[in-house]
Amino acid sequence: MSWSERLPSRLLASVLLAGAAAGLAGCVTPLYASRGGALGADLRAVAVDPVPDKLGHYLRDELITDLNGTGAKPAPRFRLQLATTERVQTALIDITTQRAQDASVVTDVTWTLLPIEGGPPLATGKTTSFATYDRSSQRFANIRAARDAEIRDAKTLADQITTQVAAKIGTLPPAR
């Protein structure tokens, strides 16, 4: 069989594949697309409640940046409440020095999206992140490495929460 005899079958297969891809493209709705209202404007209208601890400070700052990176101050329509728990786990212990060689900062966040005027929660969720860091014999190096791991956790958690909140707000009926 020569290449000229295979050309029609390859052309037909390519056309069928392109047609199937074009047909399936209509089944997906982009997350940030306009649907009865601008999702970006709704995300900018989320007020993030203060969280008391150091990790909460990092997480709140990341969420404010993710939800409203424009710097505009629209009137809030939603409140986002956060509850964080954090723990440090060590996996490997050096048998010579009896010190942990590395550690993981594990952070759990439970979030609740509420209407600003009060009422029942619109959505709740929980997300977890962990960041590993190397431990040293120097105390300050351990403290700084743990703080860097907390900051990495906060960035990861903020991205996850923003995605979950955007998905939920995208399903709500538009504001009147």
Query: Residues 94-131: pLDDT tens digits?
Result: 778 777 788 889 999 999 999 989 889 999 999 999 99
| CB-based contacts of 74, cutoff 8 Å, min separation 6 | 41, 44, 45, 68
Q: What is the DSSP letter of 83?
A: E
Q: What is the per-residue pLDDT across 151-162, written as a single tens digit (0 to 9) for each?
A: 999 999 999 999
Nearest in space to 42 (alpha carbons), one of 87, 75, 64:
75
For residue 36, the SS3 value is: coil
Amino acid code (one letter) for 37? G
**Does residue 158 contact residue 66 with C-beta atoms inside 8 Å?**
yes
- List the chain residues with pLDDT less than 50: 34-37
Amino acid code (one letter) for 41? A
Tallying the residues shown for the chain, one arrives at: 176
DSSP-H helix ranges across 78-138: none
Q: Which two tokens stand for residue 146?
A: 């743990």
Q: Which two tokens stand for residue 143?
A: 């403290």
**Does residue 126 contact residue 109 with C-beta atoms inside 8 Å?**
yes
* Alpha-carbon gap, residue 67 to 17, rounded angstroms: 38
pLDDT of residue 152: 93
Q: Which two tokens stand for residue 137?
A: 């014999």
- Kindly report the pTM of this predicted structure: 0.73
What superfamily in CATH does domain 38-169 come from? Lipoprotein like domain (3.30.160.150)
Q: What backbone phi and psi angles, to 5 degrees, belong to 108?
A: -110, 135
pLDDT of residue 71: 74
